[in-house]
Structure 1
Amino acid sequence: MGVIAMDKKQITLYYSSENSIGKQLNAYVESSGKDNLTIDISKTNVTGTQWAELADGLGKKISELVNTEHPDFKDVYGEDTIDLDDDGWLKILNKYPSFLKNAIVIKGEEYIELTSASDFKQYMDPDSAGIEKPYK
């Protein structure tokens, strides 16, 4: 059993308020009329276990959650590819929450990476994209 609570009636959003997409997604989630839990990673410490669970739920490595193309990332770490272990990537996410590549939504047992506010609208309206699964 994971450490992140799963509830098919609740939307959980992990985002950074340090970027405009995160702010927009937070507004959409909070105004959706659905039960929700929003976690602003720039204000709330996400544990390494939670990050590992988020990455696993998305079928990704922790390193893939970091936006290495972000201009500030390149300012801090340079243009060259960096090779870190999971602990190193976790330290980056905790120190620089704005480097989170995309917001992450959890509904039920489904993890979805959101790259824009319109992604959330499609996710909430199953007829528009056909990606929301019916829950029993």
Structure 2
Amino acid sequence: MNDKDMGVIAKSENELKLYYHPDNRIAKQSIAVAEATNAEKHLVNLAEVKLTETQWAELANMLDMKPTELFNTEHDLVKDKLSDSPEMDENEALKVLTHNPEVLMHCIALRGNKAILVKSINDIMKLQEMDSKDAPLP
């Protein structure tokens, strides 16, 4: 049973998932920090793995955000095709994320039922368990 079969995101306290697009400016550093943890890692390269609208909606919900809040409004695709301040409903935003994941503003890290936007590489440390044997991170 995997994410594709279920249509929703599988969650585990023992697994750190990192959703990233390789064009993101801190994707490489985020991957390095994730690799430094002792948790099982599942790296999801959004240039290679297409998430469903349901999965994007679930990630936005876990972050307590609207799908449109996940966009980098400075991204060329958003500016060129959608305008400087795109007005769209959630369904339209989910379609854009599904077909153009490069507009994702920040990587998303997930562990168990907790999800965070990775605005700086130290954000991933927020998902480390205090009593874990994870390696200390810089």
Superposition CA RMSD, Å: 2.4
TM-score (norm 1): 0.79
Tell me the alpha carbon deviations over residues 63-102 of structure 1, each in whole angstroms, 9 at most, x when there is no partner: 11111133553233333x2211223212322333221011
Residue 110 of structure 2 contacts residue 127 of structure 2 at CA under 8 Å; is this kept in 1?
no
Other-structure match for 1:15: 20
- The CA distance in 2 between the partners of 1:12 and 1:27, in whole Å, is 13
- The CA distance in 2 between the partners of 1:89 and 1:124, in whole Å, is 27
Q: How does 1:44-55 map to 2 (within 5 A)?
A: 44-55=49-60
What letter is aligned with 2:126?
Y
Other-structure match for 1:67: 72
Structure 1 residue 123 corresponds to structure 2 residue 126? yes
- Percent of paired sites with the same residue: 35
Other-structure match for 1:43: 48
CA distance 1:47–1:32, shift in 2 (3 Å): same
Other-structure match for 1:128: none
Tell me which of 13, 24, 38 is aligned to 1:33: 38
Aligned length: 127
2:27 counterpart SS class: helix
- The CA distance in 2 between the partners of 1:27 and 1:63, in whole Å, is 28
Structure 1 residue 101 corresponds to structure 2 residue 101? no
TM-score (norm 2): 0.78
User: What stretches of structure 2 of length at least 5 have no aligned partner?
Assistant: 1-5, 133-138
Other-structure match for 1:129: none
Structure 1 residue 114 corresponds to structure 2 residue 114? no
User: What stretches of structure 1 of length at least 5 have no aligned partner?
Assistant: 126-131
Other-structure match for 1:91: 95
